[in-house]
Amino acid sequence: MTILAAAQHTGTTEILPSLQARLDYRKGTAASTAGVANGFVQGNLAILPEKYASAFHRFCQLNPKPCPIIGMSDVGDPHIPALGADLDIRTDIPRYRVWRDGEVVEEPTDIIKHWRDDLVAFVLGCSFSFEEALMDEGLKMRHIEQKVRVPMYRTNIACSASGPFAGPMVVSMRPFKPAEAIRAVQITSRYPAVHGAPVHLGHPHLIGIKDIGKPDYGDPVTIEADEIPVFWACGVTPQSVINAAKVPFAITHSPGLMLVTDLKNRNMAVI
């Protein structure tokens, strides 16, 4: 589909901000997608050879909180029309990670040369969507206020295993006053496709977090004395699991540089 056809597909002659973002990334722009095309769903990417795709698909089905599937490609097809007009998964993400045997071997801005007829792309919901819902209700994201990445932690919560895919759940943490934490549970419960309700709150050590000030990924944030840490399942989990599975070949997005889709965050609410 041409760009113009894609614009017409949306019912206007204007290009959606989400499509515009993908076109920029297609040309080679490589920057964080945080704050890009507000209101549109962003997604985590995991691409695997067909040989591993069904086990990974089942892993996602078994672990819907860290791995909520919002779209996937046909085998060998780099397009996912359900997620966006003119979307090409090989070029439309700002930066990729190419994995071989569990190690990142390259971080290119497109994966044209790596694409194969046996690859399957999975797009998983991302916390940007529920953060927008929380902020729309007046809750503040500490990591955004402090201009850092959200703190993420490996936990002792075991994901349900599928084939080579297994390992602990990774969670992201946002501190809130208790009444805000209750409101945050209510709001994010409406969004199961983007991690949904928290998996834990209150006592970090109960889920194996030894030092809340030392996240395994991202940056630490301040937790005030009248706040409690609230933990959501995190889209870093599949990358952690792909790393541990040491599959011969996989491709993911580079953390924070997500796929911008044409879906609207508000449409992800189930009630």
234 lies in the site for its own copies, by CB under 8 A: no
| Residue choice 135, 182, 208, 248 for contact with its own copies (CB under 8 A) | 182
208 lies in the site for its own copies, by CB under 8 A: no
Which of these segments, 38-46, 118-126, 134-142, 177-185, binds its own copies (CB under 8 A)? 177-185
Name residue, tokens 């194969």: 116
Strand-pairing partners, residue 121, are: 47
55 lies in the site for its own copies, by CB under 8 A: no
Burial grade of 113 (CB within 10 A; 0-12, 13-18, 19 or more):
exposed
With CA atoms as reference, report the closest residue to 123 among 50, 195, 43.
Answer: 43
Query: What is the number of other CB atoms lying within 10 angstroms of the CB of residue 127?
Result: 24
185 lies in the site for its own copies, by CB under 8 A: yes
226 lies in the site for its own copies, by CB under 8 A: yes
200 lies in the site for its own copies, by CB under 8 A: yes
Torsion-angle region of 195 (φ positive above 0: left; ψ -120 to 50: alpha; else: beta): left
201 lies in the site for its own copies, by CB under 8 A: yes
Calculate the alpha carbon distances from 183 to 4, 84, 149, 196 in Å: 42, 32, 23, 13
113 lies in the site for its own copies, by CB under 8 A: no
Nearer to its own copies (CB atom), residue 178 or residue 248: 178
Residues lying near its own copies in the complex (CB under 8 A): 177-179, 181-182, 185-186, 189, 197-203, 206, 226, 228, 271
